[in-house]
Structure 1
């Protein structure tokens, strides 16, 4: 009987939710899709859904962007600027090892390396911190949109400090996985170079290793994106969240890897443009005014790209859930989100937050 009542309430909630959005505020229909609609979304559909979500809720995403993603972008660009201007002598010292005839009088001391190491550590701390905070804010916001909850920026910011510890555990697990993956790739490359050198076979084998490495990197990126959303919404973290992300990616790996390829491609393109025309633009005779304008443009595009990163990973999560026919009960999810913001004292047990992991019943349920 309890299950019947819960099912009836959920169906009524979904019906009133659809009626409310369709009749009263058509601009908020971005996340008002059925399970079958979400399941059928592909590469272009996920991007379209992400853009619709951002533009339908411009105010809240603008607040998140200015508060969390803008500092992330500034840290990212500042890292390139400081590395170029303050630690150029370290690069020069490395170049001297290759070409001893090149000498501009500068040498790298132990103090330079110490400052460089401290700078890198500070950069990673700030970059990781703002990445985790931005992830928590965007995932909570989209989950709130999905459950027809009132979205207030103050509530979003209340959630962030409650989630970042779990996100950090997941992030550390992912970094460890990527490190092991890089070590394996480096060993394979070293063995190839030592055996075949610069021969034709060696070059072909190098290309094969590079292709395999890129494909593996994209797949791990998909698992990473899903694991971070799982960490926020399913109360699990670390390698368990990664395993859940891997399971969710099954059946949608090509779509996820395609999205990751496009986003990372744009990121790499922006970095190249920034380095060539902003950092080294003076070498090409580019006036400083144009360099500043290009720097601002690259910063704005990078800002929007980071936001798109966080939104697409959450939309992709919802698509994967629908693909596996795992129930996302809006009433239970809403209760879970209320627990985050302190609106309720009812905390669901682990695995019961939003009925994740349960196959959606294909036929009528028996009580």
Structure 2
């Protein structure tokens, strides 16, 4: 983090990626520790869910999809116990995914903030901060899940309506469906940027839940295209990795007739790339936060930020202001009179 606050304001799409990679490679040791300790279990949980879903619950997921078309349903119904096991499996997956995502986010955001303020960056310090902020970060994650769930429900309802119209295969219906999918992706990318900024805000500022998401929305203004472009690239890479994993690892025996050794090697490679991608997700969203703060002229005072980080570490006491808020990391600068 060798850029000043004024320099950060002008950082764009490529600059955020460049700064993110530079930060990771300049501080390889601590990011490697965080990756192996927190992000590796996250990756294992993610891939394990795909494996178990494919080998154990594929019949349930296939039938639940086919039920949108009653005439195509093959009659291979699953029992109530199968649905119960499937539900418990999904709940366990969401809990594990949330836990490791929460811990990884807190550790990486704190580490980058420490680098930005020239504080000592130690792995044990990052883990101490995780213990301090995980509760309020969990609150923000719950609001993020609620927002994404509502958005998915709305999207599913609209798609179901389109499916009913598409039975006659009209050209107009296909065009409308394509337009809806494009709009759906664009809104999803914007929502993901707001959620990512809200996560960083929760760690570094005295804000959580809906207020953090509201502030994330405000910070995203002016840098929406940059943030959405970054999200698009990362999600596109994620989807590409998952497609490769599904085709060459999950279905490698039946589709491409790959030997087991090749399937294992491709699976390991996909896992390593997924591991690095998850780290890059969190690093870029933190750098984007710094860029958005500078863009809105909310200059992050390094002394104030260092005080906040010290408060997380138990080194200093962050005295609340009259309004009950902790030291703010940035106040909008007054425009100079001409």
TM-score by length of structure 1 reads 0.85
- Offset from partner CA, 1:49-103 (integer Å, 9 cap, x none): 0000000000010000011000000000000111111223324655696656x68
> What is the distance in 2 between the residues matched to 1:92 and 1:46?
40
**Residue 135 of structure 1 contacts residue 310 of structure 1 at CA under 8 Å; is this kept in 2?**
yes
Matched, 1:325 2:277: no
> What is the distance in 2 between the residues matched to 1:34 and 1:345?
27
**Aligned mate of 2:210, from 215, 227, 239:** 239
1:210 matched residue in structure 2:
181
Matched, 1:272 2:243: yes
RMSD of aligned residue pairs (Cα, Å):
2.0
Larger radius of gyration: 1
User: Compared with structure 1, are the counterparts of its residues 220 and 347 closer, same or farther at alpha carbon in structure 2 (3 Å cutoff)?
Assistant: same
**Aligned mate of 1:183, from 150, 153, 159:** 153
**Residue 336 of structure 1 contacts residue 347 of structure 1 at CA under 8 Å; is this kept in 2?**
no
1:134 matched residue in structure 2:
104
**Aligned mate of 1:360, from 330, 333, 337:** 333
**Residue 234 of structure 1 contacts residue 351 of structure 1 at CA under 8 Å; is this kept in 2?**
no
Matched, 1:72 2:72: no
User: Compared with structure 1, are the counterparts of its residues 169 and 92 closer, same or farther at alpha carbon in structure 2 (3 Å cutoff)?
Assistant: closer
- Offset from partner CA, 1:116-160 (integer Å, 9 cap, x none): 111110000000110011000011000000100011111110110
Matched, 1:250 2:221: yes
User: Compared with structure 1, are the counterparts of its residues 256 and 93 closer, same or farther at alpha carbon in structure 2 (3 Å cutoff)?
Assistant: closer
Matched, 1:307 2:279: yes
**Residue 248 of structure 1 contacts residue 324 of structure 1 at CA under 8 Å; is this kept in 2?**
yes
> What is the distance in 2 between the residues matched to 1:194 and 1:294?
39
Q: CA deviation at 1:183?
A: 2.7
User: Compared with structure 1, are the counterparts of its residues 345 and 351 closer, same or farther at alpha carbon in structure 2 (3 Å cutoff)?
Assistant: closer
Matched, 1:281 2:252: yes
**Aligned mate of 1:89, from 26, 37, 59:** 59
Which stretch of structure 1 is more off in the superposition, 181-190 or 59-68? 181-190
**Aligned mate of 1:316, from 264, 288, 295:** 288
Matched, 1:49 2:24: no
**Residue 166 of structure 1 contacts residue 231 of structure 1 at CA under 8 Å; is this kept in 2?**
yes
Gaps of 5+ in 2: none
User: Compared with structure 1, are the counterparts of its residues 347 and 187 closer, same or farther at alpha carbon in structure 2 (3 Å cutoff)?
Assistant: same
Which stretch of structure 1 is more off in the superposition, 172-181 or 284-293? 172-181
> What is the distance in 1 between the residues matched to 2:121 and 2:201?
20
**Residue 110 of structure 2 contacts residue 203 of structure 2 at CA under 8 Å; is this kept in 1?**
yes
How many pairs does the alignment contain? 330
Which stretch of structure 1 is more off in the superposition, 346-355 or 80-89? 346-355
> What is the distance in 2 between the residues matched to 1:260 and 1:153?
27
User: Compared with structure 1, are the counterparts of its residues 318 and 192 closer, same or farther at alpha carbon in structure 2 (3 Å cutoff)?
Assistant: same
Gaps of 5+ in 1: 1-30
> What is the distance in 1 between the residues matched to 2:262 and 2:319?
55
